[in-house]
Structure 1
Amino acid sequence: MAEPEEIQGIPAPEGDTQLIDTDYEIGQDNLEGQLGPFGFDVHNPVFMVSALTIVAFVFYALALPEQASAVFGWLRPWLTSTFDWFFLGSADIFVIFCLILIVSPWGAVRLGGTDAEPDYTYVGWFAMLFAAGMGIGLMFFGVLEPVYHMAISQPLGTPSPFDADGNLIPENVARAKEMGLAATIYHWGLHPWAIYAVVALALALFSYNKGLPLTIRSAFYPIFGERIWGWTGHIIDILAVFATLFGLATSLGFGAQQANAGLNHVFGVPINTSVQVVLITAITGVALFSVLRGLDGGVKLLSEINMGIAALLLLFVLFAGPTLMIFTDFGQGLLAYAKDIIPLSNPIGRTDDSYRDGWTAFYWAWWISWSPFVGMFIARVSRGRTVREFIICVLLIPSLVCVLWMAVFGGVAIDQVISDPSGSLVKANVIDSYNPPLSLFAMLEGLPLSSITSVIAIVLVIVFFVTSSDSGSLVIDTITAGGKVDAPVPQRVFWATFEGAVAIVLLVGGGLGALQAMVISTGLPFTLVLLVMCWAIFKGLRSEPR
């Protein structure tokens, strides 16, 4: 999933804000933390409840691994099959809500007040939205997902291009390729970015225009009033912490498995849980080092280098592969997405359970769990934009980046599978044996300089791993510190450490299934938070001058 570059690298906005007509500052005093042991700026009870619950979860999974594995193995399929309609329907609501705001008079409201000027130029702003769209998720799923949907999951009942014996069925190829890309674009296009836009708009509106702290509870002031400073607000922020932590742990788990697969492919390192635990431990240590080094000497520099390397790898695959076919597939995939977006979004009456439950429901829970993380990043860089401008750009710019990445990496992989079914390593690892972490390296093996590009891919995964851990610890720390963006370093060290610990115990306790189960179980209640947030945004915008 996407992880933005270091959030604290963006200066806190300055300027006048339009305060809600209330004595909110008195209530806000309740969020002021107390300097506790080890230099923690503790915001009770959000910090303590979140921290103690997560510590208890880690000890439970380590003490009773077999029981934990059984619970995780049951939880994921039950949640997706039971609540798939809820996740799909909610995501549809977020898209519709954003589209309504674009065409409504409230689209003219300016974030930061009527006289606010953008903090960044269009070029800089677009670059940071681009950064928010890049991450471990694109590395892990860029090859795997288009090929899998083309051949196995069969969205909307689209026939596979292969028969039961693995032989190609020529008359099914064109539609299967088209649907493989369209179904992938659906998961990385308007719907997920509408989820991020809702959270980002809420944070920006109530922080810049209303003068409230930069934390999730602030968005609910129009509904709950002063109660957001009490347990109503505490529960909202605690849910945000859980959702963000387990969403991040899932990404770290995916990254560890992919890095392990790459090291095995290039250097022969064995693939097992022990190696992945070592990887998570070592990379979490690097993330802690970047926390101690600070922004400029740590993750900001790594993030900038990583983005450059990712762009170079994208261009290499584009021009080393069938370039003309990639551009053609990109256009055809977008057209197929536009044509099939309504049936793909339909939450009821579907028969493609493998796709709807196994992929879409999980994805929406995962994106929702990441929404406080990426939403806070987007909010921090968007002061001075109108609501209309904000939503259009947040929906379109990162979506197009994600679509281009999937079209390039997935398009090349699909071409390899169709052109040489018997010799394609992608087909062997995705379709025949289903080895997701190895799919990217299998695709690169079919291109020139694979020994070099595979090492580059491993480096990209690892550095995305580091930046996501460090940035994620900042977001969780901001929420648990009552909206402060400068909480003490020991707190970030604590959260970065426990992000790695949670990823480890989930991998040990049930592998990818456990990671996905916890994302869905935390994403489910937070979906309700986002639905109520839409109403709060509407109420907040009504009081704004246009």
Structure 2
Amino acid sequence: MTDADKTQGIPLPEGEADIIDTDYTIGQDNVEGSLGPIGFDIHNPVFMVSALTIMAFVFYALALPEQASAFFGWLRPWLTSTFDWFFLGAANIFVIFCLFLIVSPWGSVRLGGKDATPDYTYLGWFSMLFAAGMGIGLMFFGVLEPVYHMAISEPLGVPSPIAEDGSIIAANVDAAKRMGLAATIYHWALHPWAIYAVVALSLALFSFNKGLPLTIRSAFYPIFGEKIWGWVGHIIDILAVFATLFGLATSLGFGAQQANAGLEHVFGIPSNTSVQVILITVITAVALFSVLRGLDGGVKLLSEINMGIAALLLLFVLLAGPTAVIMSDFGSGLLAYAVEIIPLSNPIGRDDTGYMQGWTAFYWAWWISWSPFVGMFIARVSRGRSVREFITCVLIIPSIVCVLWMAVFGGVAIDQVITDPGASAVKAQVIDSYNPPLSLFAMLEGLPLASITSVIGIVLVIVFFVTSSDSGSLVIDTITAGGKVDAPVPQRVFWCTFEGAVAIVLLVGGGLSALQAMVISTGLPFTLVLLLMCWAVFRGLQTEAR
């Protein structure tokens, strides 16, 4: 398929109209935009509605910061406590659907047609999957979450091994360690990657195999038909822009706080909002340079560099820490995850609401809000893979790597807390004072060469920051340009700059609570979009099989 085919449409093969009644290409002219005076290829009304609404939100947060902060502080706990059952139930459906596709006869369908070949090697493909999908999150939560769940949140009622006086309750240690790792793995393995896989597969299938534009609305042709070229499709794409922008802004906020914490820890640079604003500004400028270089020259190169640095840091922590304990934790954590995945996935009758609502419901909303961004990015780099290969690689392999990352970083941190709680910097920063951005650097402080590895950690956070920003800009640009993958450069510059501005405004207007509140509020309606998307993929694969 040529580049022109990606946006012009290819007629359905003979016989598919028996299942889906209308040619997929009818009405596609309605998604074509107009080239404005400043060089924007605007897909009306998605571009204008998205941009103006987000600008209005930014103005509100800046004009009324106290009111905005109070609103955000109320919004997040209300959403997670009211809709926790919905987020957990939907995430379970996505996992079941993906596992079904792996074993179904449709697993042999090839994205791009039966003669399509992959555009990237496995190394390049995996590098881009991880850098775009979870980079900042793994750095921020890799130490924090296993320790927190072991000692504080008590998932499924497993008691903490930390007594009120700070001493260790030996009888509780083994069960709490297992549950701490299992509860963390639950948030970083099958469920989030299933969310990404559903969106990525739908986009790749309907773009590469059906010839529709590479935008979210295209996946809904089997359900809505020609209506996707009208306001039904506009609303779907606008929701995708909102979800992507606020999901990305949340990650940028986490990254800025962690980079600032590392700079304070190593170089004494104060940790405050002003420094974080400067960090976001500088890193957005670097991301802008990467955006201008394009997918292969910018995003792919930075992703591979990032994966190399991350692998070296992982190997160092594994070898410098208690290696035998870490590997044992990896096995026991994986086993505990397999045993506890159903109880952890159950949204009914739970007493551990702090874990289920404060962590799980927020995580699923966050992954769902990121899914248009990560899904479209994965789709763009996955042509030539079979459905079975695609789902297996996107779902299973990244999950195993995430488990290894959490077992290594979290396992070392837990060992430091249990072995010598009085001297543990991790205990001081996570359990005693709860300072999440410093958790990674507190763990590294307990290992050799801490000053060097802390600098590497800062660099890694920043580069993950850049790759998320530049790849997110390309995705939002594609959605607002009606699915075009080669929209004008000024448009990419606009969205890259705007992402940084939204992250700054949310950080100033309400801190992390504002970021988290917005990601949940946009993730909620987009969950309905993803559930419909599963049915659309099922219908689309039926036509491919015929």
Fold shared per TM-score above 0.5: yes
Cα distance, 1:25 vs structure 2: 3.3
Checking the alignment, whether the CA contact within 8 Å between 1:150 and 1:160 is kept in structure 2 is yes
Which amino acid in structure 1 is aligned with residue 117 of structure 2? Answer: E
Once the two structures are superposed, the pairs formed by residues 466-505 of structure 1 within 5 Å of their partners are 466-505=466-505
Corresponding residue of 1:217? 217
Q: How does 1:441-456 map to 2 (within 5 A)?
A: 441-456=441-456
Structure 1 residue 174: Cα displacement: 0.4
User: Which residue matches 2:105?
Assistant: 105
Q: In 1, are the aligned partners of 2:111 and 2:384 still within 8 Å (CA)?
A: yes
Contact 1:366 1:519 in 2 (8 A): yes
Contact 1:12 1:380 in 2 (8 A): no
Give the whole-Å Cα distance in 2 for the aligned partners of 1:322 and 1:426: 16
1:21-420 matches, within 5 Å, as: 21=17, 22-122=22-122, 124-294=124-294, 298-420=298-420
Post-superposition Cα deviations, 1:1-31, rounded to whole Å, max 9, x if no partner, equal xxxxxxxxxx989998856754543411111
Deviation at 1:297, TM superposition (A): 5.6
Q: How many residues align?
A: 536
2:131 and 2:110 map into 1 onto residues whose CA distance is: 23
Structure 1 pair 167/389, CA: closer, same or farther in 2 (3 Å)? same
Q: Secondary structure at the match of 2:38?
A: helix
Is residue 133–residue 399 contact of structure 1 (8 Å, CA) maintained in 2? no
CA contact 1:13–1:380 (8 Å) conserved in 2: no
CA contact (8 A) 1:17 1:208 kept: no
Distance change (3 Å), C-alpha of 1:97 and 1:59: same
Distance in 2, matches of 1:25 and 1:409, equals: 49
1:464 is displaced (CA, Å) by 1.2
**Following the alignment from structure 1 to structure 2, what is the Cα–Cα distance between the partners of residues 294 and 378?**
15
Distance 1:121 1:16 in 2: 27
Evaluate the alpha carbon distance shift between residue 130 and residue 78 of structure 1 in structure 2; reply closer, same or farther with a 3 A threshold.
closer
More moved, 34-43 vs 353-362: 34-43
| Matched-pair contact (CA < 8 Å) for 1:143–1:439 | yes
**167-176 or 295-304, larger mean C-alpha shift:** 295-304
Q: Return the offset for 1:39.
A: 0.9
Rounded to whole Å, the distance in 2 between the matches of 1:213 and 1:133 is: 22
Encode CA deviations 1:87-123: one digit per residue, 9 max, x unaligned: 0000001111112222222223222223333444555
Letter in 1 for 2:43: H
Segments of 5+ residues of structure 1 without an aligned counterpart are 1-10
In the aligned structure 1, how far is the partner of 2:351 from the partner of 2:53?
38
Q: Does structure 1 retain, via aligned residues, the 8 Å contact 2:266–2:454?
A: yes
SS in 2 for 1:473: helix
- Give the whole-Å Cα distance in 2 for the aligned partners of 1:367 and 1:89: 14
Amino acid at match of 1:25: T
Cross-structure match for 1:6: none
Task: Provide, for residues 259-313 of structure 1, a one-character-per-residue CA deviation record: whole Å limited to 9, x for no partner.
Answer: 1100110111111111111111121122223334555664443332222111111
Please tell me the residue identity of whatever aligns with 2:58. V
Aligned-partner Cα distance in 2 for 1:132–1:287:
13
CA contact (8 A) 1:368 1:527 kept: yes
Check 1:36–1:96 CA distance in 2 against 1; reply closer, same or farther (3 A cut): same
CA distance in 2: counterparts of 1:58 and 1:130, whole angstroms: 30
Deviations 1:366-388 (A, max 9, x none): 00011111111222232233222
- Worse-superposed segment, 275-284 or 404-413: 275-284
Structure 2 unaligned residues grouped into runs of 5+: none
2:206–2:219: 8 Å Cα contact kept in structure 1? yes
Q: Equivalent residue of 1:167, what SS?
A: coil
Q: Given that residues 244 and 476 in structure 1 are in contact (C-alpha distance below 8 angstroms), is that contact kept between their aligned partners in structure 2?
A: yes
**What do residues 143-196 of structure 1 show as CA deviations (whole Å, max 9, x unaligned)?**
000000000000000100011121100010001011111000000011111101
Contact 2:9 2:25 (C-alpha < 8 Å) held by counterparts: no
How much identity, in percent, do the aligned residues show? Answer: 85
> Are the equivalent residues in 2 in contact too, given 1:111–1:386 (CA < 8 A)?
yes
SS of corresponding position for 1:543:
helix
Q: Tell me how far apart the structure 1 counterparts of residues 205 and 299 of structure 2 sit (CA, whole Å).
A: 28
The AA in structure 2 aligned to 1:501 is A
**Whole-Å separation in 2 of the counterparts to 1:399 and 1:421:** 31
13 and 397 in structure 1: CA distance in 2 versus 1, 3 angstrom threshold: farther
Amino acid at match of 2:265: H
Q: In structure 1, how many angstroms separate the alpha carbons of the residues matched to 2:7 and 2:309? A: 30
SS of equivalent residue, structure 1 residue 503: helix
Three-state SS of the structure 2 residue aligned to 1:223 is helix
Give me the whole-angstrom Cα distance separating, in 2, the residues matched to 1:385 and 1:13. Answer: 20
Q: In the aligned structure 1, how far is the partner of 2:428 from the partner of 2:215?
A: 46
**Do 2:426 and 2:443's aligned partners in 1 also have CA atoms closer than 8 Å?**
yes
- Offset, 1:133: 4.7
Whole-Å Cα distance in 1 between the matches of residues 72 and 128 of structure 2? 36
Contact in 1 for aligned 2:61/2:509 (Cα 8 Å): yes
CA distance in 1, matches of 2:382, 2:200: 9
Q: Partners in 2 of 1:400 and 1:129 — Cα distance?
A: 14
Which letter maps to 1:435? N
Mean alpha-carbon deviation: is it higher for 173-182 or for 462-471? 462-471
The one-letter code sitting in structure 2 at the alignment partner of 1:39 is G
Q: Which amino acid aligns with 1:136?
A: I
Q: 1:492 to 1:481 in 2, by over 3 A?
A: same
Aligned to 1:538: 538
169-178 vs 384-393, greater mean Cα deviation: 384-393
Paired AA for residue 446 in structure 2? G
Q: Decide whether the 8 Å contact of 2:133 with 2:374 is kept in 1.
A: no
**Structure-1 separation of matches of 2:138 and 2:322:** 20
- Number of the residue aligned with 1:5: none
Q: Which amino acid in structure 2 is aligned with residue 407 of structure 1?
A: A
Q: Which amino acid aligns with 1:72?
A: F
TM-aligned CA distance change 1:332 to 1:275, over 3 Å: same
Matched to 1:82, the amino acid is: T
